Structure 1
């Protein structure tokens, strides 16, 4: 099952909103007047300066809402650890999971014997769930459902929370599924706020610094050797 991520709502003119909020702190004018007076170039310049100085509180005024499908419960358990966010998730208590879909990790999909064993176990769990759900409430039958079970959710974060999310979860050491999610989410927000998220990503990519110590993948050295930070790109196979 393919992961699907779609940005379904966001603060109108997010970059202008953040810039106006920042300028308000040092102006006698109101936020509406400041926002209307800002040019795109001025907003971009101010946002770059804010981020470079680490003054991130104005970015909290821009929020982004994502519709996420084709991910596992194993992923959602990681995602909700990012607590400055709002979540709505498909309920296994009320939704019939007789034929639940499931996520197959690439390492399993690449090995025929492992894949056969995995699929067999999932079908056995499906059958056990069907039988149990016929005699007990679904809220109790769901205890059989695996971490692999597919789920759907809506997630809303402000830009500052997204910076933290991308810093941790776009890292190559992040678990493969949530890293794929983070990269897709970053791609979505960069479409509507490219300046605001130009420097969003792991520290190796944005600063040429890695905090993983002996577990470092070495990318920070590559970035430093090129003399480039925030190259803005990465692929899922990296």
Structure 2
């Protein structure tokens, strides 16, 4: 059994200024103010539409992100209906095969300290689930049948494509103090990464 930390990867090449200029080009059609586009007007225009709540304009650019997280966190991610998804399938992936190293991979629960009783309880539970999963496969179950015993901590990969408006909605919900701690563990660093690559769009979202 392999234990890893969760992480995210932005799959869309991002040019922040080009994104703002694209949003401005689309949005100015609403006001027929294309003649006001300059080399430096995009940031102010986009900040203005966000301040006025005219966020439909932000739907004109999509970003794709890969999440590597546990199955529990993935269930929260896919609840965002205004997005498209591809997810590692426990129906078709057979973790006993060489392509997976003949073992399952689980996500380290950051709230448990290695060496404590709590950590040991969690590790033993995951190890037992792995062993029973392989035993079911050997007994004759298919991967989609044997997966019934796999733990929520099982690593999964989810590719999410959403427009900028939906990403704003995602970050407002998933970085909030009330969000699940393991959801915040991946959402907050992702927000910071997006902020660093795409100016203006996410500046008003606290994410702390």
Q: Please classify the TM superposition score into its range, dividing by the shorter chain length.
A: 0.7 to 0.9
Count of matched residue positions in the alignment of Structure 1 and Structure 2 = 196
In structure 1, the residue matched to 2:92 is: 94
- Unaligned 5+ segments in structure 1 are 206-232
Match of 1:191 among 186, 189, 196: 196
Q: Is the 8 A contact 2:58 2:163 kept in 1?
A: yes
In structure 1, the residue matched to 2:117 is: 113
Secondary structure, aligned partner of 2:104 = coil
Q: Is the 8 A contact 2:14 2:198 kept in 1?
A: no
Secondary structure, aligned partner of 2:21 = helix
Tell me how far 1:184 sits from its aligned partner: 2.2
In structure 1, the residue matched to 2:42 is: 43
- Which aligned runs of 4 or more in structure 1 are off by greater than 3 angstroms? 37-40
Tell me how far 1:107 sits from its aligned partner: 2.7
Tell me how far 1:141 sits from its aligned partner: 0.4
RMSD: 2.0
1:60 & 1:85 partners in 2: Cα distance? 11
1:25 & 1:48 partners in 2: Cα distance? 16
Q: How does 1:21-170 map to 2 (within 5 A)?
A: 21-27=26-32, 38-69=37-68, 71-98=69-96, 99-109=103-113, 112-134=116-138, 135-170=140-175
Distance 1:8 1:182, change over 3 A: same
Q: TM-score, normalised by structure 2?
A: 0.86
Structure with more relative contact order (C-alpha pairs < 8 Å, separation 6 or more):
2
- Unaligned 5+ segments in structure 2 are 97-102
In structure 1, the residue matched to 2:99 is: none
Q: Quick check: 1:173 aligned with 2:187?
A: no
Distance 1:195 1:28, change over 3 A: closer
